[in-house]
A and B are shown apart, each in its own frame.
Chain A
Amino acid sequence: DAKTTQPTSMDCAEGRAANLPCNHSTISGNEYVYWYRQIHSQGPQYIIHGLKNNETNEMASLIITEDRKSSTLILPHATLRDTAVYYCIVRVVGTSGSRLTFGEGTQLTVNP
């Protein structure tokens, strides 16, 4: 699986949009971009994934650049409960499934 690069930490004001970047310059054509987050003392939580089109769900939006070498996770109105470590992962998915390899992630702190 391709390696990803994320900033170690970010801060965001409550109510503002949080934009978390991720670089995955070696991504292959059949690799998806996944985002997970881990709130302190809990298991990681799936947020969103995409291949090349932008995606939106009730939690977040995912913007993938046209060359697919980077992406941005957007939390449109961050709350204090969004404080967590956010992981960007690229992964090939096929009939046999595959494991997720977690990097260091970005520690997002939402401030009141």
Chain B
Amino acid sequence: GAGVSQSPSNKVTEKGKDVELRCDPISGHTALYWYRQRLGQGLEFLIYFQGNSAPDKSGLPSDRFSAERTGESVSTLTIQRTQQEDSAVYLCASSSTGTGVNYGYTFGSGTRLTVV
């Protein structure tokens, strides 16, 4: 597609339930990133996928959070046993990378997660 697509755009879930968020990157973009943004705060890095390399999971806040990506396509971010502090907008971005090349990120519109 023309941009990064995220679904759902809004999700309300009960505390303790699992949720799955989806990101469709721009076709051909080898790198994919997940960020979290709590209300009124800055962007918090969660995880980064680059091609077939092992993902950089250093930003995941707890073992309740996990993410997968198959090849250079769709990624899913899963939050198990959701807590109220997980309420935030979850943003996905993709970019191209390569030797000597230098691209910006394209962000999706995000998934607004509310845990009640």
A residues near B, CB below 8 A? 32, 34, 36, 42-46, 49, 93-97, 99-105
Nearest CB in chain A: distance from B83 CB, A = 23
13-65 of chain B: CB within 8 A of chain A = 30-31, 33, 35, 42-43, 45, 48, 50, 53, 56
A32 to B99, CA, bound (A): 15
A44 to B105, CA, bound (A): 9
B residues near A, CB below 8 A? 4, 30-31, 33, 35, 42-43, 45, 48, 50, 53, 56, 91, 93, 95, 97-99, 101-102, 104-110
B102 touches A93 (CB 8 A): yes
Q: Which B residues lie within 8 Å of A46 (CB)?
A: 104-106
Q: Which of B4, B91, B95, B108 contacts A97 (CB 8 A)?
A: B95
Q: Which B residues lie within 8 Å of A96 (CB)?
A: 50, 53, 97
B98 touches A95 (CB 8 A): yes
Q: Which of A32, A97, A103 contacts B42 (CB 8 A)?
A: A103
B56 touches A99 (CB 8 A): yes
A97 to B105, CA, bound (A): 11
Please give me the residue from chain A that is nearest to B4 by CB atom.
Answer: A43
List 13 A-B residue pairs with CB atoms under 8 Å apart, sorted by A's residue number.
Answer: A34-B104, A36-B105, A45-B107, A46-B105, A94-B99, A95-B97, A95-B98, A96-B53, A96-B97, A99-B56, A100-B33, A100-B45, A102-B43
